[in-house]
Structure 1
Amino acid sequence: MQDYDITNALKARVASECPGFAVVDEAWFSEPIDDYNDKTPAAYVYLAEDSAEAANELSRRQATAQVYGVFIICETGDTFRAQRHQVREALFGWQPPGSSGVMAFHSGQMQEIRGRYVWWREYWTLETPNALTASRTVTI
């Protein structure tokens, strides 16, 4: 079965299309952290959820949906709205290489304002119709 994780392609897209970020990397945390000391503004991407619908009886294929998170971290003096706008411009309707789906905005929220940092988290959905082959046999 093919792995449809596009984390690396998503990192590359954000890095190339969002020049305002000093750091673009894969997230190594799932919640805001006390000892964050990397450069800002920063974007950290990760695969937040991976799911599949029931297989289609005729094609024996399943549609998958992946939700990717993008942590946007700025110092309070930085303008996180500008960075958020860059991410949205880069990802709305983007079709990752090797995928048959396009990125769609899922949700965004202020995760926390901690010390001198603003932690904003966005979620993006990638639906890939008929991506996975079902393991059962269908008799017609």
Structure 2
Amino acid sequence: MNQYDIIDPLIERIQELCPELSSVEEAWFHTPLDDYNGQLPMACPYLVAEAATGDAETLRPRQRVKLRYGVWLVARKDDFRQQKQELYDALFGYQAGPRHDPLQFHSGKVEDIKGSIVWWISYWETDTHMISTPA
């Protein structure tokens, strides 16, 4: 994990504020899976991308960076909307620490519907700084 990745605090935040989720763990997949081991509803965040948003400072090794996280929400159609709202309430405006700006919603969409199961992906962004740490 890099010095500014907030995946662990995101997982903790979702676990704390979304107690009805059966499973919250870092996603290790990119597209919807058929086998979810009956752990529904579930949320699986992951780091999607990081991008520089400014030039590096020359006097001190530092650069502004935008982090984008994806969060899979897998739920049955009957409680999908409620779980999605709880997840959004937990994430919108969440500030992982003093080095990170509050999370902002980027986008969300249905990736798949299999029977009564909805695969929803939402994307969240925060700005922070990459700071050089001496070796």
Q: Distance in 1 between matches of 2:5 and 2:18?
A: 21
Q: Using the TM superposition, name which of 8-17 and 59-68 deviates more.
A: 59-68
Counterparts of 1:44 and 1:87, CA distance in 2: 11
**Within 5 Å, which residues of 2 pair with 1:1-140?**
3-55=3-55, 61-76=62-77, 78-128=78-128, 131-133=129-131
| 5+ residue gaps, structure 2 | none
Per-residue displacement from partner, 1:81-104 (whole Å, max 9, x unpaired)? Answer: 111111111111111035331100
Identity of aligned residues (%): 38
List structure 1 runs of 4+ shifted beyond 3 angstroms. Answer: 56-61
* Residue type at the aligned position of 1:132: M
| Deviation string, structure 1 residues 87-129 (Cα, Å, up to 9, x no partner) | 111111111035331100000001110233210000000112x
| Number of residue pairs the alignment of both structures matches | 130
Shift of 1:59: 6.0
The one-letter code sitting in structure 1 at the alignment partner of 2:5 is D
- The residue number in structure 2 matching 1:138 is none
Q: What is the identity, as a one-letter code, of the residue corresponding to 2:94?
A: W
Q: Secondary structure at the match of 2:84?
A: helix
Specify the alignment match of 1:137 in structure 2. none
CA contact (8 A) 1:9 1:97 kept: no
Residues of 1 paired with 2:115 and 2:125: CA distance? 30
In structure 1, C-alpha distance between the alignment counterparts of 2:38 and 2:48, rounded to whole Å: 22
Q: Which amino acid aligns with 2:9?
A: A
Q: Deviation string for 1:9-59 (max 9, x for gaps)?
A: 000000001112111111121100122223101000100111112315676
TM-score (norm 2): 0.86
Instruction: For 2:118, give the aligned amino acid.
Output: V
TM normalised by structure 1 equals 0.83
SS at match of 2:25: strand
**1:36 & 1:51 partners in 2: Cα distance?**
31
Question: C-alpha distance in 2, partners of 1:64/1:45?
Answer: 19
